Structure 1
């Protein structure tokens, strides 16, 4: 088996896909969180400031989702097909809400009528909440296991089987984390009374996240032993749960000191460490079959040809610095507090 720096190409592509989705969760996560707070901001000016805080970057953040989906399809087409078949309903809902969220951002400021703006405020906030929730629901199903037969076909109910206690807990965990993450981002972009209100809202979101995260962790230990057992076989990997807890503990400490940039970095690290922990728990599997372990889809039976993976790794080596450079440039250009003018949403 050919390797690159000691790892086979299938593992490298597993890391690429995981890295892209982690970047997406960090970047689109904060603007989902910011949107989820929209209806909690009562004044028109406050809502406009919050929307303009994400206005220059939200569409660029969604590019990471396109890259992630493309990377999964290119590297592991079998897993891509099975996942989209199994999670057809949540993915269609996700597509529905992501379209209406984009429409609401662009349409809200086109008319002055109160009913018009209130309508799009509701659509924007509800769509953001559902998007954050659905991402956790999909992750919960992937971790718990999906009804996949020996031919890698989904055999479960396509309508509501994705809603189970664990996926709902994961959905609430991701939503509360994104709302805390988004509030921290807005604190970096706002001032005055809006800033003070967001500081209070962020504390509520962080409290909710810690509570739901604790419940989800207990549920995982009790009802998903295949995840925790994997860590026990590799004692060195236990450092990851420790890093997750430390990153979570640092967020309220830093927000209390009003060090919001550092808090945002630790919030981003928290998302990264949690997703890395999930990846480690399932590796080398991509999709766990709830029917039989023999039906699991892993990085080897789902991968494209070795030649394809090699060519795509070259593309990744060229494209990654460009994407990171562009992302840095955009955030540097639009850094600082938001000011409303005639070009604002």
Structure 2
């Protein structure tokens, strides 16, 4: 197998890890205001992802860095052509990080309320725009002979891309609700489980519509297998959420996202960014770095990737217990502007 193909597959794996793991982070943030009915409940929700959200974002940084190093032409065209939507995603992620880190710094209801809105909006924006971006890549964009994007911003807001944005938003929303039901206890768990059951049906309909459209209009025959797996996983998600089998429901929603990534990247190959005029498309060959660069990257990835996976797996194992309102102290307990550690049930690094 050529190194260009290897790195195309590795980048697909990195995006899979990011969307599966950060997907439930986004979902929890999106549900913070509508599902959390009290300060304690919102702190329960935040503490379910408190130990892992920043580690999950590393997958995005790695995917971006790998794209830059392995396929610099792809990186340049993507980030210049999709400048505005990617800037909005970046700003939303920054706002989200600030909300996570600073929410518990001041013991004031108005301050926490603003942080909660920032966290909610900072989760909704990328959840939608990632879908819009990937749908446009699958559909193809207007590139000139120099591989530069020459379409406008509003060209990216076509019906197929907007449906893609709705699909990712619903997938992450359901994924987050299932994760909350899996990781929390008490009223939050009950409401999250009930909401996941209702959301799963809507997600099934919208995701199936987008996947079939993508497969029929833009994909290749073998990716029907990914569509079939996604359909089965979505049906399983509906069944599992109705039966309140939270572990199986989480597996089903994760498999759905994995199948969606397979459909997206399978539709692209050997292109990395298809153009309306196929002669102008970026491919794994004309967008890649030299064989020497890819060879060095392969050795580095082979050594470091298992270590990163082991560390992240260990983190999830340590913080595997459920979080309940009973484990949340009544007061944030500020000490010199920093919240005291909440070590009850191994739920989080901090009480926010």
Q: From 209, 215, 225, give the equivalent of 2:217.
A: 225
Map 1:1-345; keep pairs closer than 5 Å: 7-40=1-34, 41-157=36-152, 159-220=153-214, 225-227=217-219, 230-231=220-221, 234=222, 237-290=223-276, 292-338=277-323, 339-341=327-329, 342-343=340-341, 344-345=351-352
Per-residue deviation, 1:35: 0.4
1:188–1:336 Cα contact (<8 Å) kept: no
Per-residue deviation, 1:218: 4.9
Inter-CA distance 140–238: structure 2 relative to 1 (3 Å threshold): closer
2:14–2:62 Cα contact (<8 Å) kept: yes
Per-residue deviation, 1:17: 0.4
Return the alpha-carbon distance in structure 2 between the equivalents of residues 321 and 267 of structure 1. 25
SS of the aligned residue for 1:94 comes to helix
Per-residue deviation, 1:262: 2.2
Return the alpha-carbon distance in structure 1 between the equivalents of residues 60 and 133 of structure 2. 14
SS of the aligned residue for 1:46 comes to helix
Return the alpha-carbon distance in structure 1 between the equivalents of residues 53 and 224 of structure 2. 35
Return the alpha-carbon distance in structure 2 between the equivalents of residues 319 and 313 of structure 1. 10
2:138–2:214 Cα contact (<8 Å) kept: no
Per-residue deviation, 1:28: 0.6
Per-residue deviation, 1:132: 0.6
2:208–2:231 Cα contact (<8 Å) kept: no
Q: 1:4 aligns to what?
A: none
Q: Which moved more, 1:207-216 or 1:301-310?
A: 207-216
Return the alpha-carbon distance in structure 2 between the equivalents of residues 273 and 210 of structure 1. 13
Q: How far does the alpha carbon of each residue in 1:135-174 deviate from its partner, in whole angstroms, 9 at most, with x for none?
A: 10110110111111111111112x4332221111101100
Per-residue deviation, 1:272: 0.7
Return the alpha-carbon distance in structure 1 between the equivalents of residues 154 and 226 of structure 2. 33
Give the alignment's TM-score, normalised by structure 1: 0.92
Aligned residues: 329
Give the alignment's TM-score, normalised by structure 2: 0.90
Return the alpha-carbon distance in structure 1 between the equivalents of residues 29 and 313 of structure 2. 22
1:33–1:183 Cα contact (<8 Å) kept: yes
SS of the aligned residue for 1:286 comes to strand
Per-residue deviation, 1:103: 0.6
Return the alpha-carbon distance in structure 2 between the equivalents of residues 74 and 173 of structure 1. 30
Q: 2:334 aligns to what?
A: none
Q: What is the CA RMSD across the aligned residues, in angstroms?
A: 1.4
